[in-house]
Amino acid sequence: MELYQKTIHEINDLLDKKEVTVTDVTQAVVNRINAVEKATDAYLSLQTEAALEAAQGLDAELSGRAKRTSLEGIPYGLKDNMCTKGILTTCASKMLYNFNPPYNAEVYDRLSEEGGILLGKTNMDEFAMGSSTENSAYKKTRNPWDLNKVPGGSSGGSAVAVAADTAFYTLGSDTGGSIRQPASFCGVVGMKPTYGLVSRYGLVAFASSLDQIGPFTKDVEDCALVLNAIVGHDAKDSTSLNLEKTDYTQTLKQGVKGLKIGVAKEFFGEGLQPEVRKSLEDAIAIYKTLGASIVDVSFQHLDYALSAYYMISSAEASSNLARYDGIRYGFRAEEYSDLVDLYKKTRSQGFGDEVKRRIMLGTYALSSGYYDAYYKKAMQVRTIIKADFDQVFGGCDVLLTPTAPTTAFGIGEKTSNPLEMYLTDIYTVPVNIAGIPGVSIPCGLDNNGMPIGMQLLGPILSEETLLKTAWAFEHESGLTNLKAPLGTEV
């Protein structure tokens, strides 16, 4: 196995034993990027020269001390909606084509303090609005399992970088499934933590009450390692939870004997691809052999989740994106007659179709005479769905569901039908509405060799339980660090 194909914990073993250097590891990933990036288009911008310089500096520093942190010297990628001082942060939008942030996102600072080596900023749907990474203003990212398929979205570039071995881990943001759905499509592990567990400071806002940063990794143990680094209170984020530090690796291998795993029929209804259903049934059987008990649970109001999500997220997007007016920073139309014309032309030319669609929907929902009928009603539904989850978790510890109804679909297959595209998030959006954690892990392949994802959900702050449940399946099934059939040169 090549260095770039290994997991974080495998690389840690090699680095701690001094069998390889940080420069060796970084150079291996840079070589991999040079070989396959033109085919996958996972990155919007690359910092490979700076990464190699940082690796050499770290090697010199590490030669003088015995211990290193678990992410020190590990190359990674960052979704391009997280601020990086001195490095363009475009949100894959023409509107921010020249935005050089004056400060860093908190998660970037934390990874830098850990000694992480940034390889580049990954592609995404514009302002994180989309489910296929086809809404980027700059390029279309391709799924390494089949270059004619989408990687999912909106964090498609981050998922592909891990799946194609062009990063050991990446960070994405999840507003309605934007980490878990691409993780499912690309055969990697993707986690959306409890809302407020990871600081959103420096994350360019889409829908502030739903957005959450989380990791993409090659296996569950790596997910725990990255989570250890990015979780923690941040006074700069008013929604950040102030909790005692947790080491998510400590309980990882405790097993699931006696654990109650809930299965809800509402997640296994019409539209679920047969191979996805079969893989999940096989996963349930594995959990039974591991000593977990499977319980039937039910939701009363889950059918309303998708509608409520798109109403709430679009309303918040309308408000958050009002700042892009061509005055302070970012794109500005070249020709205009007055201030109002400047606003109109800047926003018309700077935003893509999907962003405009959601701004219009959100503005309408917040407008006088419609606020009560749409936005307020959606917020009431949100409260009901939270209560549904509370009731379900009264009878089980973990909920097992599909991550997505199908495996990855073809590039261009759903772009002409936004509603069909929105339905790909049907199993992930309720999680953001409730603010609970969720993780997607690979649980098989379909008849065309495309990855299938299983989603594990738990009550607020149940990350430890979710990770040990995920690790137990991964260890028993052998579905870990899956390798996409992408050649060494494309």
Q: What is the pLDDT of residues 114-162, one digit of tens each?
A: 999 999 999 999 999 999 999 999 999 999 999 999 999 999 999 999 9
Judge contact between 239 and 228, C-beta under 8 A. no
The per-residue pLDDT for 135 is 98
The per-residue pLDDT for 464 is 98
Does any domain span residue 7?
Answer: yes
- Averaged pLDDT, 277-286: 98
Buried-state track 189-217, b at ≥16 Cβ within 10 A, e below 16: bbbbbbbbbbbbbbbbbbbebbbbbbbbb
Residue 377 vs residues 195, 198, 312: alpha-carbon distances, Å: 22, 29, 10
Does any domain span residue 295?
Answer: no
pLDDT of 438 strictly over 80: yes
pLDDT of 411 strictly over 70: yes
CATH number of the domain that residue 153 is part of? 3.90.1300.10
- Averaged pLDDT, 230-241: 98
The per-residue pLDDT for 66 is 79
Does any domain span residue 449?
Answer: no
pLDDT of 470 strictly over 80: yes
pLDDT of 17 strictly over 90: yes
Q: Is 112 a known active-site residue? A: no
Q: Active-site residue among 158, 178, 279, 313?
A: 178
Q: Active-site residue among 79, 121, 192, 218?
A: 79
Percentage, residues of the chain above pLDDT 90: 97
Answer positive or negative: Cα dihedral of 456, 43, 124, 446: negative
Tell me the two tokens of residue 438.
């969720």
pLDDT band at 487 (very low <50, low <70, confident <90, very high): low
CA-atom Rg of the chain in angstroms: 21
- CA-angle at 121, arms to 230 and 408, nearest 5°: 90
Does any domain span residue 313?
Answer: no
- Averaged pLDDT, 379-403: 98
Domain interval for residue 187? 3-256
Does any domain span residue 61?
Answer: yes
pLDDT of 62 strictly over 70: yes
- Averaged pLDDT, 96-108: 98
The per-residue pLDDT for 305 is 97
pLDDT digits (tens, 9 = 90+) for 335-378: 999 999 999 999 999 999 999 999 999 999 999 899 999 999 99
Tell me the two tokens of residue 219.
């296996």
Does any domain span residue 388?
Answer: no
pLDDT digits (tens, 9 = 90+) for 166-200: 999 999 999 999 999 999 999 999 999 999 999 99
pLDDT of 431 strictly over 90: yes
Buried-state track 167-186, b at ≥16 Cβ within 10 A, e below 16: bbbbbbbbbbbbbbbbbbbb
What is the residue whose two structure tokens read 């929907």?
361
Domain count, the chain: 1
- Averaged pLDDT, 67-74: 96
The C-alpha atoms of residue 168 and residue 76 are separated, in whole angstroms, by 6
- Averaged pLDDT, 44-59: 98
What would the DSSP string read from start to end of 79-109? ETTB-BTTB---TT-GGGTT---SS--HHHH
Does any domain span residue 347?
Answer: no
Tell me the two tokens of residue 197.
């567990």
The per-residue pLDDT for 490 is 52
Q: Is 318 a known active-site residue? A: no
Q: Active-site residue among 70, 131, 154, 184?
A: 154
Percentage, residues of the chain above pLDDT 70: 99
pLDDT digits (tens, 9 = 90+) for 347-359: 999 999 999 999 9
- Averaged pLDDT, 257-286: 97
Does any domain span residue 243?
Answer: yes
The mean predicted confidence, pLDDT, of the chain is 97
Q: Is 178 a known active-site residue? A: yes
The per-residue pLDDT for 65 is 85
- Averaged pLDDT, 27-54: 98
Model confidence pTM above 0.85? yes
- Averaged pLDDT, 277-282: 98
pLDDT of 301 strictly over 60: yes
